Structure 1
């Protein structure tokens, strides 16, 4: 079994568990609807087995999820998309607010095409160009859907390194900075930049979402595959970390002024 298949199963299984919990069904009860034991549902939720087409249809019917689980499985296992992407976009759509911190990159929802391409080529230079281009298209489309919507409110803190150690010294970075400056000019998106080298965000990038009516959740990035954090105490710690970052960062007004000053340093 390849790592990619395992990852897809785990991501899909986590969503299955969320939908079962929301429906207030036990694994045994859902298993009876499928004609199997509760342990078979446990195996699906833990990513040990893959669902068949019949099981997918029965799960969606039993849980009242339309075709969500079948569609998500197809997205993850057949379309070659990043396994967490479907879940992340679903959470973003439901969220009333998004709190995001990134120490050295512009958050993916706010990236331009050329900036995203430069970042992806740097992170995975071995990927075929066609695959990189497809990933960039998915990222930009997701960002455009977010930017064109009226909700959620987004509060962003980025590291000063985003400005001081840019992905290029020319038009790519200038275009990207102009883009985030324009977005941050609205009341929906607030941008702040860290002011000191030592701060609570040294743990790495993370995002806090509150998808109503579900409880708040954190997505913490890593080089391996990232992690969704559901534990209430851990989520609370990430929220505290973000608010401490906000308190220690430049104000939104000063941050925008710094972006304006930095833009002037890049040729068009």
Structure 2
């Protein structure tokens, strides 16, 4: 298995913990497969922990301390790193997203979090939590906008998004909010920061009708797939499943409008929202 490169602990605490795991494992003379076997996880999964693309859960940390003779090092630090500003079902995916070199996603009903504006995000969170305090909503919006700063880097990660046409037609927060949100997506596409396609209603049945899909690639770890449902989400690394999801995304790309056609449609719909026209 390819040896993971050394990672900068100052840039990613989870990567630091993974780097320490690799050093401790190698010092103990264990392979990734041997370390993972008692936990019923693969050597690939251990490699993902070492590369910082997966979160170290407490049960694993305790096993590592016991097996590698590191006293309570991993248990202590695992507990500290477990705190997240994101919901439990999404926290691990958000952390993986932050170190991915490529993200490909299909969005079914709303603009993906990385591409949302402040006003759009506020409307989404208020719909999710109609009785929440404004302070709680503001905290959620702040975390989402902070996560979107991932795109401040001009080239990494490569973000390729396929939006279902329903995303454009569902009016979230009214015409001005939708116009601003779609203009923001269009600007990112025009600046060549993202690749954007729209899957039109005219495409009919397609490969991902069961729901949204996200695929993430990394420099030193296998590809991951993330699937979610209301208050549920799961990172998948099974090679057969990831291969199937990759095929699904490829089929979506083939069925969608070209990036040029998609941009024209997004800007046309944004203009209609600005002029107060309704969409069906």
For residues 243 and 150 of structure 2, what CA distance do their matches in structure 1 show? Answer: 28
Partner of 1:38: none
Classify 1:255/1:212 alpha carbon distance in 2 versus 1 (closer, same or farther; 3 Å).
same
- Is 1:177–1:259's contact at 8 Å kept on the other side of the alignment? yes
Deviation at 1:199, TM superposition (A): 1.3
Match of 1:58? Answer: 73
Which secondary structure does the structure 2 equivalent of 1:200 belong to? coil
Within 2, Cα distance between the matches of 1:232 and 1:18? 24
Change (3 A) 1:19 1:218: farther
Q: Give the equivalent residue in structure 2 for 1:44.
A: 59
Q: 1:120 aligns with which of 117, 120, 125?
A: 125
Q: How far is 1:89 from its partner? A: 3.5
Deviation at 1:129, TM superposition (A): 2.2
Aligned twin of 1:237: 244
Check conservation: 1:72, 1:86, Cα contact below 8 A: no
Question: How does 1:243-254 map onto structure 2 within 5 Å?
Answer: 243-254=250-261
Instruction: Pick closer, same or farther for the CA change 1:105–1:21 going to 2, 3 Å.
Output: farther
After TM superposition, the score normalised by the length of structure 2 is: 0.71
| Residue 183 (structure 2) pairs with residue 162 (structure 1) | no
Identify unmatched segments of 5+ residues in structure 1: 1-15, 31-40, 48-54, 62-66
Q: Secondary structure at the match of 2:208?
A: helix
Q: How many residues align?
A: 226
Q: Which residue pairs with 1:220 in the alignment?
A: 227
Instruction: Kindly report which structure 2 residues correspond to 1:166-245, keeping only aligned pairs within 5 A, or say none.
Output: 166-195=171-200, 196-245=203-252
Instruction: Name the CA distance, whole Å, in 2 between partners of 1:44 and 1:17.
Output: 15
Could you tell me how far apart the structure 2 residues matched to 1:101 and 1:202 are? 10
1:72 match: 81
Answer yes or no: is the 8 Å Cα contact 1:191–1:255 preserved in 2. Answer: yes
- CA RMSD, Structure 1 to Structure 2 (Å): 3.3
Equivalences for 1:22-37 in 2 at 5 Å?
A: 23=25, 24=32, 26=35
SS of 1:158's equivalent? Answer: strand
Matched position secondary structure for 1:203: coil
- Residue 250 of structure 1 deviates from its aligned partner by 0.5
TM-score (norm 1): 0.74
**Structure 2 unaligned blocks of 5 or more:** 1-16, 26-31, 40-55, 63-69, 276-280
Structure 2 SS opposite 1:214: coil
My pick for the range that moved more, 164-173 or 236-245, is 164-173
Q: Distance in 1 between matches of 2:19 and 2:152?
A: 27
Q: Distance in 2 between matches of 1:18 and 1:127?
A: 39
Alpha-carbon contact 1:96-1:211 (below 8 Å) kept: yes
Deviates more, 1:118-127 or 1:132-141: 118-127
